[in-house]
Amino acid sequence: MSDPAAALDPAALRALAETSTAWPFEEARKIVARLKQHPKDEVLFETGYGPSGLPHIGTFGEVARTTMVRHAFRVLTDDRIKTRLIAFSDDMDGLRKVPDNIPNKELVAAHLGKPLTRVPDPFGTHPSFGEHNNARLRAFLDAFGFDYEFASSTEYYKSGRFDATLLAMLEHYDAVMEIILPTLGPERRATYSPFLPVDIRTGVVLQVPMVARDAKRGTVTYEHPETGERVTTAVTKGMVKCQWKADWAMRWTALGIDYEMAGKDLIDSVKLSGEICRVLGGRPPEGFTYELFLDDKGQKISKSKGNGLTIDEWLRYASPESLSLFMYREPKAAKRLYFDVIPRNVDEYAQFLDGYKRQDGKQRLTNPVWHIHAGTPPDTSVPISFTMLLNLVSASNAENAETLWGFIGRYWPGVTPQSHPRLQREVEYAIHYFRDFVLPAKRFREPTDGERAALMDLRDALSQLADDATAEAIQEVVYEVGRRPPFLDEKKKGKDGKPGVSLDWFNLLYQVLLGQEKGPRFGSFVAIYGLKNTVDMIDGALARSA
């Protein structure tokens, strides 16, 4: 591929990046400005993960988007400054409730309140529930080839990596309380402490007030909620963990995090954690507030509820690149994340990739595929859209890839699974999607008498076309049949000046012939599916409704 952007020397590429309107560059410029004020030899990016439920796509989205900003920063700085991305798991959090979408709920229910890494794995594959979900996350991030370092809250607390900052929080205990208490209700305020002791006997993370503290010794004292006895414990070596907002601030300070994104629902948490970070002697990271993902009903996606799409589900039906595109586009707009969005993202990814070849360097830096592929999009193409593949599967009820390749090879001689491996993957995706979503929802509408007559006219007109008729010629026949009552639309005019055709005509074709509400450009579909196959399909629809 001829690549003007790649051919640019680093200085020229940086010059384009410095004025690019693509949001990853806008974010990266914030980090560059930060370094001018406080120079560092290394920049740390972080993403957080709460492993209380099975990983969902929102978690991946944060890593993907942060990776895009990291790459943009490297371009802006000519890669002179070392960068690292830490994927941090809050696996020392106490499990508050049993997730809805796991097996062996009774097993997990017996361990409520314990750190996730002390809760048995209901799936029976790992030493703990936290480690099971951590492994799921890592496996997925590895499959995408992300460059990251996984970090476990449990490991970091117990190893002592947080000890110095925990002692600093103990020393500045009153200042931290002054930040948090005004944000709490009276009942919560009476029991709040930034430290949550881990009960030595039960392993439960306790939500109890502190009755004494000793900064010199590094200890806190609390009354045990069951026995009433006073217990003194160190704040180091994993004997306590911090409350959420204090924990975030402590981590930023201890690790020196420079950049971390957060969802819109955490705006207040980011603000409070930033204030605590400053009290601890740290500098809050640069940040980016993204909108939340919604399910098909418009409700926020929740790990514990299991609504919306899981990571594995998207990858069963579409490519990783299509998911990355979904994450790249409009990160500040709330987006519904459910199965119906998959085909559109697959096709739009292909369109962006195809358009990239014709763009200059400046335009390419605003093309999503440049950011998805870290500046080097692949030189591949797919001759057929994913939506068209779905309709071919739907029309033929294809149960195997060979059937689809028969249509594809007839229309595009020489196009094979070997010559187009990306298309081979999309054929498999289309079959999975059809079986799981299209087929169960198929409902063939019976045509009215007038519609039957129109379908018979279409059948006869298609029968008279040559086998090698172009998609345009077929589409013109479709229009000509549609320009008859009751589908003639005198108010609309075609590009050729002829009368328009009502959408009811095309809806008829989709609903009666394909058993679905929407469909492809019909002429293109028939050209690939075949005239004889289409005539047979019309005959079948007419026979069903006879």
d(Cα 158, Cα 117) in Å, to the nearest integer?
A: 12
The residue among 394, 404, 450 whose CA lies nearest residue 425 is 404
Q: What stretches of 254-386 adopt beta strand conformation (E)?
A: 259-263, 286-290, 293-294, 335-336
Helix, strand or coil, per DSSP, at residue 48: strand
Which band of pLDDT confidence, cut at 50, 70 and 90, is reported for residue 302? low
If you count them, how many residues does the chain have? 546
Per-residue model confidence (pLDDT) at position 1: 42
Which has the minimum average pLDDT: 59-63, 73-77, 285-289, 524-528? Answer: 59-63
Per-residue model confidence (pLDDT) at position 489: 79
Q: Which tokens is 343 given? A: 């085909």
Q: Which tokens is 132 given? A: 């099971």
Which band of pLDDT confidence, cut at 50, 70 and 90, is reported for residue 491? confident
Q: What's the whole-number mean pLDDT along residues 83-97?
A: 96
d(Cα 287, Cα 387) in Å, to the nearest integer?
A: 37
d(Cα 29, Cα 22) in Å, to the nearest integer?
A: 11
Quick: pLDDT tens for 276-285.
999 999 999 9
Q: Which tokens is 187 given? A: 């009942």
Q: What percent of the chain has pLDDT over 90?
A: 78
Q: Are strands 286-290 and 259-263 parallel, antiparallel or unpaired?
A: parallel
Q: What's the whole-number mean pLDDT along residues 433-456?
A: 91
Assess contact for 48 and 61: CB atoms under 8 A.
Answer: no
Quick: pLDDT tens for 504-513.
999 999 999 9
Residue type, 103: P
Quick: pLDDT tens for 178-233.
999 999 999 999 999 999 999 999 999 999 999 999 999 999 999 999 999 999 99
d(Cα 386, Cα 447) in Å, to the nearest integer?
A: 28
DSSP designation for 339: G
Q: What's the whole-number mean pLDDT along residues 257-271?
A: 96
Per-residue model confidence (pLDDT) at position 495: 72
Where do runs of H (alpha helix) occur along 116-240? 129-143, 153-159, 163-171, 173-180, 186-191
Per-residue model confidence (pLDDT) at position 454: 95
Reported as type and span, the H/E element at residue 284 is none
Query: Does the pLDDT of residue 305 top 70, yes or no?
Result: no
216 a known binding residue?
Answer: no
Supply the mean pLDDT for the chain: 92
The residue among 431, 426, 423 whose CA lies nearest residue 393 is 431
Per-residue model confidence (pLDDT) at position 303: 57
Which residues contact residue 497 at a Cβ distance below 8 angstroms, ignoring those fewer than 6 apart?
Answer: none
DSSP-derived secondary structure for 380-391: ---SS-HHHHHH
Which residues contact residue 429 at a Cβ distance below 8 angstroms, ignoring those fewer than 6 apart?
Answer: 316, 317, 318, 319, 346, 386
Quick: pLDDT tens for 308-322.
677 788 889 999 999
Which band of pLDDT confidence, cut at 50, 70 and 90, is reported for residue 492? confident
Residue type, 27: E
Q: What's the whole-number mean pLDDT along residues 443-464?
A: 94
Q: Which tokens is 81 given? A: 């400054």
DSSP designation for 8: S
Per-residue model confidence (pLDDT) at position 531: 95
Query: Does the pLDDT of residue 5 top 60, yes or no?
Result: no
Higher pLDDT, 8 or 207: 207
Which has the minimum average pLDDT: 54-63, 114-123, 437-446? Answer: 54-63
